[in-house]
Amino acid sequence: MSVSITIKAGIDDGALKRPPPSVNRQSRSERLRSERRSDRLRALIAIGLVVAGFLAVSGQLVRLALNGQHEEQIALNAPIATAFARPDIVDRNGRLLAGDVVMPSLFADPAVILDQKEVATKLSKVLPGLDADWIRQTIADRGKRFVWLRRGLSPAEAQKVHDLGLPGLEFRSELRRAYPLGRLAGHILGFVDIDNKGRAGIEKYLDETKDVDAVHGASLTAKAPLQLTLDMAVQFAVEDELAHAIKRYQAKAASAVVMDVRNGNILAASSLPGVDPVSVEERSERARLDRLTQGTYELGSVFKTMTVAMALEQGETLDTIVDVRQPLDVESYRIEDMHPAGRPLSIAEVFLKSSNVGAGKLALAAGHEAQKDFLARLGLFDEMSTEAGSLAKPTLPGIWGDIETVTISYGHGIAVTPLQFVAACAPLINGGYRVNPSFVDRRGRSDKSSVERKQVISPETSRHIREIMRWNVAGKIGTGSHADVPGLRIGGKTGTAEIAGVGGYREKAVISSFLSAFPMDAPSYIMLVSLYEPKGTPETHGHITAGHNAAPTTARIAARIAPLLGFIPGGAGPGE
């Protein structure tokens, strides 16, 4: 009895605890939704972790790649700097003076080199300019992938290196500047650096006028050549005669410039010893200084040409008498003539006899202010520059009193570059107007400057200067007779200046110069020839003055270049 009751009771309890069918279905649905939400959440978390991991890995790869690229650029790209393709440089007749050529350059990949000692030893034997120890040091770091060993090899040198068959040595073609005429006009042309960028002279001018192209590799420019006013036939004749003059008169150096007096175009400009544009060593040698543009000198009695012109501009005539019988005492100084005339001289004779006393008296009569004004009008005080670079600044006296006025009248106490002096003398020859010296043919160039025909002295004064310059060469009493070339009608003026040293002027050390022009009835060209520290020789009978060395050198140059310029001695020249 009790059993049945217990069982019933149990059945009734279980029946009471079981939920209704609808409630049971709802719970399962909620559980399923909850499980799905959990699954989605777990999936999102997993995806997020994967994405985060991917981003972390990607970021690390990017960081490493960037760091690696920077190092690789240093190793591979830095030595291969941007180079410059340059146009050819030609003379006024189209002769090639400078041009780009494609040449192999040698580099090494240290990581590929098997035996550094072998490479250094063998390479130094086929390329003697390379030191074996330097090669070993250069290729020692195997972490580097690119190091230059020699840039600009000749084909023969490149073939020798190639024949070694050494792993890790490679070639890259580059543009290199070539100067087919060697040292000829080397100072004027200037030079380029290892990347073919102009650093001096006409080469630097090309960069300043943006006539060069930045390139990678060995791409030649398509730009037209730069045409200079130089004539290489004239240039060669000038340099050849200067070289002979250095030997003949035992001089330390020589210089000369030939300029078209009508427009300032320079046909030849030479300073010897010359410089090879491709020689780094020669550029730094003081003996190879360009004396035409970078050295300033007291040029001596050639300045009397300006002093006489100043007197004529102030109303004097060539017949005006100057008393030169006694030395000229100024302040505590006494000025004397080397060969006193012993009588009064006309202004023309002051010039022809090269009287220091006469020049000094003319300058004192004009006054130092008039003297400064006249020299300034000629452009002697200007900071001058040409396409080949800036000229050295003139050295002027700090105090310009009576004694300075006198010494400057005959070319002492003021120092200028020979090229600036020639430009200042042009108005004395060409009818009275200034011209700008130029090395670049202005015709057809966008940066051309018209010839500046600024009148600074009268045509009449210029005509008288031409007359006495011709008398000085062709007459009986002039100092320039050794400069005469039959039929060419040369005129000129001698100048012998002592060279200043520590504590005063150096004894028997002079610069002898001859200023000339031709033909004097209708001048086309002006020329200044200077010899630095010539010695007395049997040929000159021991003399070191300009009349015995610079004047005959001028005659030899003029005789050679006149036919090249279209002048036949004794005949008519171009345009006459």
Count Cβ neighbours within 10 Å for each residue of 357-386 and write b for 16 or more, e otherwise.
bbbbbbbbebebebbbebbebbbbbeebeb
Whether the pLDDT of residue 74 is over 50: the answer is no
How many CB atoms within 10 Å of residue 107? 19
Q: Check whether residue 220 and residue 313 sit in a common domain.
A: no
Q: Check whether residue 490 and residue 403 sit in a common domain.
A: yes
Whole-number Å distance between alpha carbons of 374 and 364: 14
Q: Are 264 and 426 in contact (CB under 8 A)?
A: yes
Instruction: Indicate the angle between helix axes 304-313 and 459-474, nearest 10 degrees.
Output: 140
Any domain includes 572? no
- Structural domain total, the chain: 3
Q: Give the model's confidence band at 17: pLDDT under 50 very low, under 70 low, under 90 confident, else very high.
A: very low
Per DSSP, helices labelled H in 356-458 are: 356-366, 368-377, 402-409, 418-430
Coil vs helix vs strand at 6:
helix
| 238 DSSP 8-state letter | H
Q: What is the CATH number of the domain that holds 208?
A: 3.90.1310.10
Opening angle at CA 176, ends 175 and 181, nearest 5:
140
Q: Which of 25, 55, 77 is the last residue of a domain?
A: 77
Q: Check whether residue 424 and residue 290 sit in a common domain.
A: yes
Task: Supply 61's token pair.
Answer: 């790869």
Min mean pLDDT across 64-78, 131-145, 148-162, 190-204 is at 64-78
Any domain includes 24? yes
Task: Supply 20's token pair.
Answer: 């209704």
pLDDT at 26: 56
Any domain includes 20? yes
Whole-number Å distance between alpha carbons of 64 and 46: 27
Model pTM score? 0.81
Whole-number Å distance between alpha carbons of 366 and 362: 6
| 74 DSSP 8-state letter | I
Whether the pLDDT of residue 265 is over 70: the answer is yes
Q: What is the pLDDT of residues 179-189, one digit of tens each?
A: 999 999 999 99
Whether the pLDDT of residue 197 is over 50: the answer is yes
Q: What is the pLDDT of residues 100-144, one digit of tens each?
A: 999 999 999 999 999 999 999 999 999 988 999 999 999 999 999
pLDDT at 501: 80
- Whether residue 173 lies in the annotated active site: no
Q: Are 116 and 147 in contact (CB under 8 A)?
A: no
Find where tokens 């006198």 sit.
406
Separation of CA 102 from chain center: 23
pLDDT at 32: 65
When the pLDDT of each residue in the chain is averaged and rounded to a whole number, the result is: 89
Q: What is the pLDDT of residues 428-443, one digit of tens each?
A: 999 999 999 999 987 6
Whole-number Å distance between alpha carbons of 405 and 401: 6
Phi-psi category of 275—alpha, beta or left, where left has phi over 0 and alpha has psi -120 to 50?
beta
Q: What is the pLDDT of residues 365-418, one digit of tens each?
A: 999 999 999 999 999 999 999 999 999 999 999 999 999 999 999 999 999 999
Comparing 522 with 34, the larger pLDDT belongs to 522
535, with CB counted inside 10 A (0-12, 13-18, 19+), is middle
Q: Check whether residue 316 and residue 385 sit in a common domain.
A: yes
Q: Check whether residue 391 and residue 464 sit in a common domain.
A: yes
Four-point Cα dihedral 542, 468, 240, 543, nearest 10: 0
Range of 20's domain? 2-77
For 249-266, what is the mean pLDDT?
97
pLDDT at 72: 40
Any domain includes 573? no
Q: Which of 27, 50, 77 is the last residue of a domain?
A: 77
Q: Check whether residue 333 and residue 463 sit in a common domain.
A: yes
Q: Check whether residue 149 and residue 264 sit in a common domain.
A: no
pLDDT at 101: 95
Comparing 83 with 250, the larger pLDDT belongs to 250
pLDDT at 21: 53
Q: Check whether residue 407 and residue 494 sit in a common domain.
A: yes
Q: Check whether residue 12 and residue 123 sit in a common domain.
A: no
Whether the pLDDT of residue 27 is over 70: the answer is no
Q: Give the model's confidence band at 81: pLDDT under 50 very low, under 70 low, under 90 confident, else very high.
A: very low
Q: Check whether residue 218 and residue 290 sit in a common domain.
A: no
Any domain includes 185? yes
Q: Which of 77, 105, 133 is the last residue of a domain?
A: 77
Q: Which of 271, 301, 409, 524 is catalytic?
A: 301
Closest CA to 389 of 202, 225, 211, 196: 202
Beta strand 385-386 pairing with 389-390: antiparallel
- Which residues are paired to 268 by β-bridges? 258
Any domain includes 575? no
Any domain includes 445? no
Find where tokens 């006193």 sit.
340
Q: Check whether residue 146 and residue 49 sit in a common domain.
A: no
Find where tokens 């004239």 sit.
234
Closest CA to 243 of 565, 529, 548, 562: 529
